[in-house]
């Protein structure tokens, strides 16, 4: 596949992950973004042997958008440190179904989530539930037409399936996300795809006290779906 490189320096590379592609390998044995980026770097720089590539965060398989990788151990350490400290700013955009009337234009959501390991489904639970993790995000409805809306999400914590679960919990499931209450589009090309895009990330470089911000536009088809609503 052709790798869409959004940013690269000596220590870090940022690429665009298409919806439906794994970031790293799983039981399916399907191709992964990590392997494709390794191959890209090997070919570009004519590297012998194995190519080092550090994975510092993940993006759900059905989602699309920006993924950061570290090209060196220094890059991996610096990025991992920023993710642990929650100093990396991550913005997402989603296309949602609006099931409830009177949904606030902007709102901070706080829930406690727990993942069921046997089903790989995350649920909202009581705060006192053993193993429950606090999840927080802020959303703003950017554009709405009837029962569809494009929503900007500022993620405060990084829990599995967090955006998908929290928005569904307030009556705004993501289009295509049948696992969490969204409708299936039915298009073959939408297999393993939901309308969630990691659209912006801001981080500090590995060797300088300098910030870099990378942004990508939301998919054109979202606007088309809004217009057709």
Residue 36 has which token pair?
A: 């494709």
Q: Name the percent of the chain lying above pLDDT 70.
A: 97
Strands (E) in the chain, as ranges, are 5-8, 12-17, 54-55, 64-70, 89-97, 106-116, 121-124, 133-145, 148-155, 196-204, 211-215
- What number is the average pLDDT over the span 220-226? 91
Query: 115: pLDDT confidence band, cut at 50, 70 and 90?
Result: very high
Are the C-beta atoms of residues 6 and 216 closer than 8 Å to each other?
A: yes
DSSP state of 171: T
> Residue 189: its pLDDT value, please?
47
**What CATH number did the domain enclosing 99 receive?**
3.30.2350.10
Pick from 96, 60, 107: nearest CA to 173: 96
- What number is the average pLDDT over the span 185-208? 81
Does residue 191 register a pLDDT over 60? no
Of residues 112 and 117, which shows the higher confidence score?
112
Residues 127 and 113: their CA atoms lie apart, in Å, by: 8
Please tell me whether residue 37 adopts helix, strand or coil conformation: helix
Mean pLDDT, all residues of the chain: 92
- What number is the average pLDDT over the span 153-162? 93
Q: What is the pLDDT of residues 90-107, one digit of tens each?
A: 999 999 999 888 889 999
> Residue 184: its pLDDT value, please?
67
Pick from 4, 74, 83, 12: nearest CA to 36: 4
Domain carrying residue 166: 5-228
Number of domains in the chain: 1
Q: Which residues are catalytic, by number?
A: 60
Pick from 216, 193, 162: nearest CA to 63: 193
Q: What is the pLDDT of residues 54-85, one digit of tens each?
A: 999 999 999 999 999 999 999 999 999 999 99
Residues 174 and 195: their CA atoms lie apart, in Å, by: 6
Polymer length of the chain: 229
Pick from 184, 186, 178, 174: nearest CA to 222: 174
Residue 21 has which token pair?
A: 């592609």
> Residue 229: its pLDDT value, please?
80
> Residue 17: its pLDDT value, please?
97
Are the C-beta atoms of residues 195 and 187 closer than 8 Å to each other?
A: no
Q: What is the pLDDT of residues 1-35, one digit of tens each?
A: 889 999 999 999 999 999 999 999 787 878 899 99
Residues 48 and 39: their CA atoms lie apart, in Å, by: 11
pTM recorded for the entire structure = 0.91
Q: What is the pLDDT of residues 123-147, one digit of tens each?
A: 999 999 999 999 999 999 999 998 9
């Amino acid at each position: 596949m052709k790798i869409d490189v959004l940013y690269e320096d000596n220590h870090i590379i940022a690429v665009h992950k298409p919806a439906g592609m794994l970031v790293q390998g799983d039981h399916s044995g399907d191709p992964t973004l990590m392997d494709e980026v390794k191959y890209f770097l090997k070919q570009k720089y004519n590297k012998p042997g194995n190519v080092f590539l550090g994975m510092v965060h993940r993006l759900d398989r059905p989602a699309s958008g920006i993924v950061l990788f570290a090209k060196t151990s220094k890059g991996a350490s610096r990025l991992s440190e920023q993710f642990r400290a929650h100093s990396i700013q991550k913005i997402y955009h989603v296309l949602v179904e609006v099931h409830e009337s009177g949904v606030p234009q902007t709102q901070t959501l706080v829930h406690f989530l727990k993942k069921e390991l046997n089903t790989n489904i995350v649920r909202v639970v009581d705060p006192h539930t053993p193993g429950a993790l606090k999840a927080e995000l802020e959303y703003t409805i950017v554009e709405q037409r009837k029962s569809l809306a494009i929503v900007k999400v500022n993620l405060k914590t990084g829990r599995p399936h967090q955006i998908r679960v929290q928005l569904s919990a307030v009556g705004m499931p993501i289009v295509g996300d049948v696992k969490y209450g969204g409708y299936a589009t039915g298009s073959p090309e939408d297999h393993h795809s939901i309308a969630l895009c990691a659209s912006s990330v801001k981080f500090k470089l590995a060797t300088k006290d300098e910030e870099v911000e990378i942004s990508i536009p939301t998919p054109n088809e979202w606007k088309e779906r809004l217009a057709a609503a």
